[in-house]
């Protein structure tokens, strides 16, 4: 498994380099063709396809690092509300074509906002993947993201949606590698690695994750991680 993971990581790195060049030049061409609807439309498709491929490559590299214990943790102190604002902009932009109500509830336990000392990038990846999953499986959806302090040493994050939900028989496979959920109207494109990555990173941050779901009524994901020094 280690050799397989290392091989996949190396191949992914080799693909990533020329792909970055394609994405870079497509961005330049998009700027130059803003007034040409025909070309702009085609270039937008190229850019989105490239972004999707880059996302898949990054997932493969991250899974390879997880399986070979090479994920490094760089803790820092930051405001949870600041991270929420960044995520809100990114998710709204990515799913702009959907009829979506995205609600971020900033924590109010402290006057200046809740501080956390953890790896910001790993926490961003965890929240992003959970939010993307919530938004992906319904055309009209409400997603609510909250954070709070259930104890002095832990912080609780909760992502709640009113989407299609997950059937009981599928729930036990949810965090497995390569397990792909079906969306409401089409097969979700991807490798089925998102929730495997989420669970692995939560555990790397010395946390725990759980979920509740009912088909047709939505899903709630909750995870806790230490709020202080790691």
In the DSSP assignment, the letter for residue 182 is B
CA distance 206 to 226: 7
For residue 191, pLDDT beyond 60: no
Average pLDDT, the chain: 82
181 band by pLDDT with thresholds 50, 70 and 90:
low
- Could you count the other beta carbons within 10 Å of the beta carbon of residue 116? 22
4 band by pLDDT with thresholds 50, 70 and 90:
low
Query: How much is the pTM?
Result: 0.81
The predicted-structure confidence for 52-82, as pLDDT tens digits, reads as follows: 888 888 888 898 889 888 899 999 999 888 8
CA distance 192 to 210: 18
φ/ψ region of 190 (left if φ > 0, alpha if ψ in -120 to 50, else beta) reads left
Domains with residue ranges and CATH for the chain = 1-68 (1.10.287.130), 76-226 (3.30.565.10)
What would the mean pLDDT of 131-139 be, rounded to a whole number? 78
What would the mean pLDDT of 23-46 be, rounded to a whole number? 90
Q: How far is CA 223 from the centre of its chain?
A: 14
């Amino acid at each position: 498994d280690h050799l397989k993971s290392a091989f996949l990581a190396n191949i992914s790195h080799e693909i990533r380099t020329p792909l970055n060049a394609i994405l870079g030049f497509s961005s330049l061409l998009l700027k130059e063709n803003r007034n040409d609807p025909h070309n702009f439309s085609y270039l937008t498709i190229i850019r989105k396809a490239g972004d999707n491929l880059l996302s898949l490559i990054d997932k493969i590299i991250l899974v390879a690092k997880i399986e070979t214990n090479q994920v490094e943790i760089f803790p820092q102190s930051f405001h949870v509300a600041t991270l929420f604002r960044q995520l809100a902009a990114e998710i709204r932009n990515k799913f702009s074509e959907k009829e979506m109500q995205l609600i971020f509830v900033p924590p109010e336990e402290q006057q200046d906002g809740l501080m956390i000392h953890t790896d910001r990038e790993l926490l961003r990846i965890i929240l992003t993947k959970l939010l993307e999953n919530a938004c992906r499986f319904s055309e009209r959806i409400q997603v609510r993201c909250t954070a709070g302090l259930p104890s002095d040493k832990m912080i609780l994050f909760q992502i709640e949606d009113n989407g299609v939900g997950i059937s009981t028989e599928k729930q036990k496979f949810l965090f497995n590698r390569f397990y792909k959920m079906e969306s409401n109207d089409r097969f979700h494109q991807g490798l089925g690695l998102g929730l495997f990555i989420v669970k692995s990173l939560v555990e790397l941050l010395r946390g725990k994750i759980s979920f509740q779901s009912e088909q047709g009524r939505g899903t709630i994901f909750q995870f806790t991680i230490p709020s202080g020094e790691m």
